[in-house]
Amino acid sequence: MEKDWPSGFPGINWLGRQEEEAVADVVRKGALFRYYGPQSPTHVDQLEEYARTFYDVDHALAVNSGTGALFTAMSALGVGPGTEVIVPALLWVATVTAVIQNNAIPVLCEVDRSFNMDPEDLEKKITPRTKLIAVVHMAGTPCDMDAIMRIANKHNIPVLEDCAQCNGGSFRKRKVGTFGKVGMYSLQINKNVTAGEGGLLVTNDEKLYTRLVAAHDLGVPWKKGLPDETGEVCFWGQGRRMGELAGAVANIQLRKLSHVIAHMKASKQRIKDMLGHMEGVSFRRLNDPDGDTGPFLILMFDKESHAGGVAQHLTNGGIDNVFHLSNYGLHIYHNIRSLVEKVPLSPAGNPWSLSQNSDSLFEYGKGTCPTSDDLFERSVIVTIPSRLTDEQELEMTQAIKNAIVANVTS
């Protein structure tokens, strides 16, 4: 492979002078805190203002990380002891961590051939304790939000959309993150746009927004630049404010998101077109091809050995960030040791030992989601860098073809 390939971290490839100037502005002013300082801070406010427009929502809240956004959202939505949260078998560990940290019980749902939450299995997993459906738009492409929202509305259960890997994606021309009660986006270094760390929450519910503001900080909301200790909302906060340095970078990066996505989608589509229809391999189903953001290509094979061989062949050939999906680290439910072993938050044994959760007898080891396990074992995920040249696309395509021929069709 060529030595000078763009980073596999999408937003990093688009960092430039604008981000430098924005950070320098923060340093010159000494206004590193988002709410006050020697001079008025502006960048986090500008980020939230632009986010409201970009996602077409009434409220946006910047926080210190995507994980922090999940914790904040679940806390504000009342997730706690005696409640269950449905999560997909393919996710990132942070999603299930947020459930555990709120002393609730995660319930695993199968994924379908889109590698997103399977609506049919979702409805089977709903119980009287179900407090929240945590949808995860995985590997750059949206879930079937029409089907999921029909089920959620039928049972009157709120939906949290985890869009960490699909920032800027859409379903039927509507941005992911805006279908449910609240949407979350990550700005971590390997996301579509980045501030190194950071997160965003969006909602159209004013009361929930007030609770989000309180939960992410002091336990009471900020109003007119001061903590409001006289209102109805008062509980424990989490200290998850975004600082101005991260806000300065995020504010510029978010304005580049459409360009980042356009490049990744175009590269991915050209690679798929060049691969064509090869024996023994197919692509994941896209619930809305137009809404795909393009950072990953998932290849599906007939046999586990084919998937493992192709992944190893590509890795040996110098293609970075390729995984046999069953080995995709903490994205796969049964690879999350703390979940499988039900590791408690403290010696008290919570959340599984709490009396409120005593009837929630769920297991998390391999085999819990057999349909998903089969898909994981037969699939390979390949990162699509956000600034590939035509030559690099050709080289990547040829490498994939060679791996398939060597391990599948030979």
Residue 94: CATH number of its domain? 3.40.640.10
Alpha helices in 30-87 (DSSP H): 43-55, 66-76
Q: Is residue 81 part of a domain?
A: yes
**Residue 348 pLDDT:** 80
- Single residue among 212, 233, 256 that ends a domain in this structure: 256
Q: Are residues 235 and 304 in the same domain?
A: no
**Residue 350 pLDDT:** 85
The Cβ of residue 208 has, within 10 Å, a number of other Cβ atoms equal to: 19
State the chain's mean pLDDT as an integer.
95
Burial class (CB in 10 A: 0-12, 13-18, 19+), 307: buried
Q: Are residues 262 and 386 in the same domain?
A: yes
Q: Are residues 160 and 263 in the same domain?
A: no
- pLDDT tens, 128-179? 999 999 999 999 999 999 999 999 999 999 999 999 999 999 999 999 999 9
Q: Is residue 364 part of a domain?
A: no
Residue 312's CATH number:
3.90.1150.10
Instruction: Give the range of the structural domain holding residue 183, as residue numbers without chain letter.
Output: 11-256
Q: Are residues 185 and 272 in the same domain?
A: no
Domain count within the chain? 2
Inter-residue contact 140 to 169 (CB < 8 Å): yes
Q: Are residues 128 and 222 in the same domain?
A: yes
The average pLDDT across 322-331 equals 96
Q: Are residues 272 and 213 in the same domain?
A: no
- pLDDT tens, 245-288? 999 999 999 999 999 999 999 999 999 999 999 999 999 999 99
The residue annotated as part of the active site, out of 125, 131, 175, 191, is: 191
196: region left, alpha or beta (phi > 0 left; psi from -120 to 50 alpha): left
Inter-residue contact 55 to 175 (CB < 8 Å): yes
**Residue 260 pLDDT:** 98
Let me know if 191 is a catalytic residue.
yes
The average pLDDT across 352-366 equals 86
Q: Is residue 338 part of a domain?
A: no
